[in-house]
Amino acid sequence: MKFKIKRELLLESLNKVSKAISTKNLIPVLAGIRFDLKKTKLTLTASDNDITIQTSINSSDDFIIDKEGSIIIQGKYILDIVRKLPDEFIDIEVIDDLKILISTENSEYNLNGISEKEYPNISLEESKNKVIVESSTLIDIVNQTAFATSNEENKPILTGINFNIVGDILECNSTDSYRLARKVIKLEEESSETYNIVIPSRNIIEFSKIISNCEDKVEINIFSNKVLFKVNNLLFQSRLINGTFPNTSNLLPKEEMLTISTSLSAFYDVIDRVSILTSDKEKNIVTLETKDDYLILRSSSSEIGKVEEKMPITKDNKENIKISFSAKYMMEALKSFSTESVDIHFIGEIKPILIKSNEDETLTQLVLPIRTY
């Protein structure tokens, strides 16, 4: 294997696949990146058995192929070397089968490689039935739902985002049992298959970061135990979480007693200030009370003190409510909206609080109240 490549071109691809390099895996070969050089392109692959990332670079004036071949190079070292070299172009050559020579005009590195035969046989097949979404839409889905997934490994099904596809409707849900985030979008094309899968939130967050500057469509290929995302020359494969995701539709109330409308930023800022004096950083309980055309937010701590703030609101009727909730959960729910205003729907003092916005009907957030007596 022998080629000459522009440093920035190689670094961009290495940065993508390196997200899948295993640092704790017992299989040493998975700490490496597989280089497969053919006549017209270089394919880079990395995997930790949980996710697999593959990308390719086509030959061009910035990438000149001299001799085909395959080898595994230790990911940490090739990434550090390419990142820190000051030269515009880098030469990489395999000598004596498993010795790698990385050179520039003034630098020379010799690394020990691993035979590509030792790399696990990873299938990155595509399905016949693909689900197509805009990359920006997928990023929105992740940003607006992933925060509500559980961190508790004893409830593995809740550590992922549920993708439910029926016809041309994609419904995404995440919950940790104390809150719910739901995003519902209409697909450009109707899916010929019905899907109900759970993708580990950590994995799909990583994918959304990789495509953060992408403006292309993402192809989603769904299988019984894995999902493959394809965008341009990038393949990102993740395992799926086994099990049945809870029916979260039951959590969404059908009736309500009061809806208030308010400025999103103003409501967020008031909760943020009031929560300063909460003693328990996990629950950080704030109490909300409505009176006429304004609301009062309070918090107190026997060790620290107490605080009270008022702000104007618009109500849909003359009912009033007093309810307590986690400031952290409410602020995270509000942060998922990119709208000017929000509507807070109350059903009762011990019933879930719904957060919606007329400016974005695709998104619903739900926060359970906390009893303070």
Closest CA to 221 of 52, 371, 5: 52
pLDDT of residue 279: 65
Band (373; pLDDT cuts 50, 70, 90): low
- In sequence order, the β-bridge partners of residue 111 are 100
Tell me 352's DSSP state. Answer: P
Overall average pLDDT of the 221-232 stretch: 96
- In sequence order, the β-bridge partners of residue 109 are 102
What amino acid occupies position 353? Answer: I
| CA separation for the pair 321, 349 (Å, rounded) | 7
Q: How many helices (H) and strands (E) does the chain have?
A: 6, 26
Backbone region of residue 179 per phi and psi (left: phi > 0; alpha: psi in -120 to 50; beta: other values): beta
| CA separation for the pair 112, 225 (Å, rounded) | 35
Overall average pLDDT of the 112-119 stretch: 94
pLDDT of residue 280: 65
Pure H helices in the chain: 7-17, 75-84, 135-145, 201-210, 264-274, 327-335
Overall average pLDDT of the 107-120 stretch: 94
Provide the token pair at 234: 């990038």
Contact 367, 345 (CB under 8 A): no
pLDDT at 19 over 70: yes
| CA separation for the pair 302, 105 (Å, rounded) | 68
Q: What's the CA angle centered on 129, arms 128 and 130, to 5 degrees? A: 110
pLDDT at 282 over 60: no
Main-chain phi, psi angles of 192, to 5 degrees: -75, -15
Overall average pLDDT of the 181-209 stretch: 96
- Reported as a single tens digit per residue, the pLDDT across 237-273 is 999 999 999 998 888 888 889 999 999 999 999 999 9
pLDDT at 160 over 90: yes
pLDDT of residue 24: 75
Band (97; pLDDT cuts 50, 70, 90): confident
What is this structure's pTM? 0.93
pLDDT over 70 percentage in the chain: 98
pLDDT at 13 over 80: yes
Q: In whole angstroms, how large is the CA radius of gyration of the chain?
A: 26
| CA separation for the pair 300, 230 (Å, rounded) | 50
Number of other CB atoms surrounding residue 243 within 10 Å: 12
Average pLDDT taken over every residue of the chain: 94
pLDDT at 133 over 60: yes
Overall average pLDDT of the 285-304 stretch: 90
pLDDT of residue 45: 97
pLDDT at 283 over 80: no
Band (78; pLDDT cuts 50, 70, 90): very high
| CA separation for the pair 312, 315 (Å, rounded) | 10
Overall average pLDDT of the 120-149 stretch: 95
| CA separation for the pair 181, 336 (Å, rounded) | 9
Spatial strand order in the sheet of 99-103: 63-67, 2-6, 89-95, 99-103, 108-112
More confident residue, 24 or 81: 81
Number of other CB atoms surrounding residue 162 within 10 Å: 23
Overall average pLDDT of the 65-85 stretch: 96
SS3 call for 340 = coil
pLDDT of residue 158: 97
Contact 33, 14 (CB under 8 A): yes
In order of 90, 154, 164, 173, the CA distances from 86 in angstroms are 10, 47, 47, 46
